[in-house]
Amino acid sequence: MITIAETDLVVHPLCLGSNIFGSNANEVQSHAVMDAYAHLGGNFIDTADMYNQWVEGHVGGESETVIGSWIKSRSNRASMVIATKVSKMDTRPGLSAKNIFAACEESLNRLQTDYIDLYYSHEDDQSVSLEETLGAYAQLIAQGKVRYIAASNFTPARLHESIKFSEDNNLPAYVAVQDLYNLVDRKSYEGEMSQTVAELGISNIPFYGIARGFLTGKYRPGITDVDSMRAAGAREYANEKNYAVLIAMDEIAKGHKTSLAAIALGWLRAQPTVSAPIASARTVDQLNEIMQVIELTTAEVETLNAISA
């Protein structure tokens, strides 16, 4: 278990993503995955109010609803760390105080809980003052409805500005970021953003930790029939450079007697500003591929750094 910097949240080194719960994985499948995750010691589940409004016939909130029904039926809220988000749901856009309060209540109802452990600003909203947004979070924390706040999809400058404003005005500050980062998608995070996160003493809880499934190794040259509803997204990574990354991962995985997904997540954990990477699973078999926590050697990390640069 690890403790997220700037918090007392003690979490499993794999954060279970839930953007497929209620869509690619129905409620029964989702409950089975969460049961297996908890049985293996997992306690950190990530969702958002807008999951999965992109699915035809959905409006958002479906993932939270599935998680809420699981928490209630298992009576395990106290042992779980639940993260959700506000500002990108079509019917609850932005970071005004009014919207944050309303969205939080709706998330709490869907999750069937009275508090959220980690509440993200899912994207920045510069039409609203930092005083209003952070003041709203301060009220939710004072009311016991939220424990900590975090930021996703912010620029380094806005993240720095937001945290400085919090410090200068005695308001709650963002304790983490959730940004896209994985072994074959490094450019958007490495550099200014990772430096800012390091300087602020917080961490990244990165999404797409296994690159939409590409880093499981199932997508290889000539292989077209993969049992995944996210195959199209994974194939966006299909190129010669990334196939070479898979070949290097094959050798490392063989040495550790583990899956390629576990190696991909191990590489993320080896990065100094990463705490618990996020990955999702539609089935228990897929979950088993991502649950093993592997510590890579310095040489293995350097090999993967060089070939994926």
**134 has pLDDT over 60:** yes
The domains of the chain are located at 2-178
Residue 2: band (very low, low, confident or very high) from pLDDT cuts 50, 70, 90: very high
Residue 189: band (very low, low, confident or very high) from pLDDT cuts 50, 70, 90: very high
Q: Which of 37, 51, 119, 219 is catalytic?
A: 51
Render pLDDT for 139-168 as a digit per residue (tens, 0 to 9). Answer: 999 999 999 999 999 999 999 999 999 999
Tokens of 37: 């995750």
**DSSP summary character for residue 116:** E
Do residues 21 and 63 make contact, with C-beta atoms less than 8 angstroms apart? yes
The whole-model pTM stands at 0.94
pLDDT (0 to 100) of residue 229 = 53
CB burial class (10 A; 0-12, 13-18, 19+) of residue 171? buried
pLDDT (0 to 100) of residue 220 = 87
- Region 48-74 average pLDDT: 96
Q: Count how many Cα atoms sit within 13 Å of the Cα of residue 150 in the half-sphere of its side chain.
A: 30
**224 has pLDDT over 70:** no
- Region 104-127 average pLDDT: 98
Q: What average pLDDT does the structure give for the chain? A: 95
**227 has pLDDT over 70:** no
Name the percent of the chain lying above pLDDT 90.
Answer: 93
**Residue 237 is a catalytic residue:** no
Strands 116-121 and 88-89: unpaired
End-to-end CA distance of the chain: 30
Which residue, among 79, 178, 94, 184, has the nearest Cα to 133 in the 3D structure?
94
The rounded distance, in Å, linking the Cα atoms of 145 and 303 is 44
Residue 268: band (very low, low, confident or very high) from pLDDT cuts 50, 70, 90: very high
**206 has pLDDT over 60:** yes
**228 has pLDDT over 70:** no
The CATH classification of domain 2-178, taken from the options 3.40.50.850, 3.20.20.70, 3.40.50.2300, 3.20.20.100: 3.20.20.100
